[in-house]
Amino acid sequence: MLNRPVTTDDLARLREERDQADRRYNDALTALDRALPRLEPAATAVAAYDDSQVPPLNERWKILEHTALPPVRGFRSRLAHFVWGLVSPVFERQQTFNAALVDHVNRNVGAARAPQQVADATAQVLAAHAAALATFQSHLILYLQQVTAYVDTKDRLVAGSLMSVYDAAFNGLTDELLKRWESLSAREARFDGKVAATSAAYDDLRGSLATVQQSTLTIKRELERVLAGATPTAANVAVPTLDSYKYVGFEDRFRGSQADISARLESYVPLFAGARDVLDVGCGRGELLDLLRKAGVEARGLELNHEMAETCRARGLEVAEGDLLSYLEALPDGALGGLIAIQVVEHLEPDYLMRALDVAYHKLRPGAPIVLETINPACWFAFFASYVRDLTHVRPLHPETLTYLLTASGFMRVRAEYRSPYPDSDKLQKIAPATDAVQADLADTVNSNIERLNALLFTYMDYAAIGERG
């Protein structure tokens, strides 16, 4: 769809693109011409056979012209016969050898001349083929040189015909489109103004709602204080724990070593970068407090188990003993720069947890993070292997439930981060695909069910609900 009329700048740009295409074509044609191999004169591959000594060999191979001796008539005749009897066998053998050699040479003269003849014939064929190839290459270059001119003539013919027929109509269409473009631009400007005004009103409304929500939470807290005489105290609703020493042993056996826990908790440290007065609720053996101290984050712990609190204090960590709600209510508003509770909220009764979140909202400074890690009951393995094992667990919290509670308590930018993925090697494994059609359908069905079971049984063992004080 045409959004605006064609301007002189557009035509100049199109002309420049065409010129660039022509230059690229000419450069490519030049490169092709230079790359074509040139026909070189053929060289004789095989030297001519030298048969100059064959005639002399045929003439001189005989060394015995006359073999008969005159009859014996005297001493000299007898001596000649005696000497000839001694040397004639040698000359006869030599002449026999010469005859065989000359015969061999004569027989191979033709075979020796054949390679030269074949080479000459081959050179003639190659020369003819090279000449034909050179002719073809020359014609190819000439053809390619005519392509641009041919296309240009076609373009000029088509362009001239179109311009002569549609010039007036095109100008009218351009004017109409320009008018519509100006109208749409004006409408867009008015729409942008309305959107900006709506966005400003939305920001004001969001700020007002945040103020109303904070006021509502404040009123709710004051009503709870007024009615404190008729409601259970924090100490009464807190969950009783096992004997201290027993739960320390339980932590050591089932949660893992301090090194393992430190490795798991290390990723939480960047969430509190630059913060101070961070509270680690249920700090346990103090792994996270150690990590925060090494990162330069001022933090203290809160632990209900006396033995664990003493273990932390022995390492120089600041840890208070008591339950969460009582500790928070004793703090002034805005006293905390962050709050984190690792594997704690599943130990709390629902009413106690919701009251604790409401109080924590007021005790945190604006922008301070809150992190609540717990077992993921959506993973069946985590529920039956981890959650059920601990006797002090009160109620599992689904990720959607805990994130909703944070949002309902006034926290902003609430999200759930899943952690501790179940190892893929320990999940249900798919079966190999089959070549038979029936068996292949069965294998696909089984593998589909395996994926569903893995999604229910073996996903993430834990998750953390994270939010910020608005």
The more confidently predicted of residues 391 and 25 is 25
User: Which has more confidence, 351 or 109?
Assistant: 351
Arithmetic mean of pLDDT, 17-26? 86
Check pLDDT > 50 for residue 361. Answer: yes
Q: What is the pLDDT of residue 455?
A: 76
Residue 232: band (very low, low, confident or very high) from pLDDT cuts 50, 70, 90: very low
Model confidence pLDDT, tens digit, residues 144-180: 777 777 777 766 665 665 565 556 666 677 777 777 8
Instruction: Say yes or no to pLDDT of 332 above 90.
Output: yes
Between the ranges 316-320, 376-380, 458-462, where is the mean pLDDT highest? 316-320
Q: What is the mean pLDDT of residues 297-326?
A: 93
Q: What pLDDT shows up at residue 231? A: 45
| Model confidence at 246: pLDDT above 70 | no
Domain ranges of the chain: 50-188, 232-469
**Res. 241 pLDDT band, cuts 50 70 90:** very low
- Other beta carbons within 10 angstroms of residue 345's beta carbon come to 25
Predicted TM-score (pTM) of the model is 0.48
Compute the C-alpha angle 93/98/104, nearest 5°. 130
Strand partners, 419: 462
Residues with Cβ within 8 Å of 94's Cβ and at least 6 positions away in sequence, in order, are 63
pLDDT at 101 over 90: no
If phi over 0 gives left and psi between -120 and 50 gives alpha, with beta otherwise, what is residue 466?
Answer: beta
Q: How do residues 73-93 score in pLDDT, each as one tens digit?
A: 777 777 877 887 788 788 778
Q: What average pLDDT does the chain have?
A: 80
Q: Say if strands 338-342 and 369-375 run parallel, antiparallel, or are unpaired.
A: parallel
List the single range of 77-86, 212-221, 373-382, 386-395 with lowest mean pLDDT.
Answer: 212-221
Q: Is the pLDDT of residue 122 over 80?
A: yes
Phi first, then psi: what are they for 417, rounded to 5°?
-110, 125
> Which CATH topology does 232-469 take?
Rossmann fold (3.40.50)
CA distance 392 to 305: 12
Tokens of 92: 């006869």
Q: What is the mean pLDDT of residues 46-66?
A: 76
Angle between helix 287-294 and helix 258-265 axes, rounded to 10 deg:
50
Please give the average per-residue pLDDT across 307-332, as a whole number: 94
Q: Are 237 and 351 in contact (CB under 8 A)?
A: yes
* Digit-coded pLDDT (tens) for 183-197: 887 888 888 878 877
Give the residue-averaged pLDDT of 55-66. Answer: 76
- Position 44 pLDDT exceeds 70: no
423 or 369: whose pLDDT is higher?
369
For the residues 205-217, what does the mean pLDDT come to?
58
Q: Could you tell me the two tokens for 454?
A: 């893995």
Beta bridge partners of 273: none
Residue 114: pLDDT over 50: yes
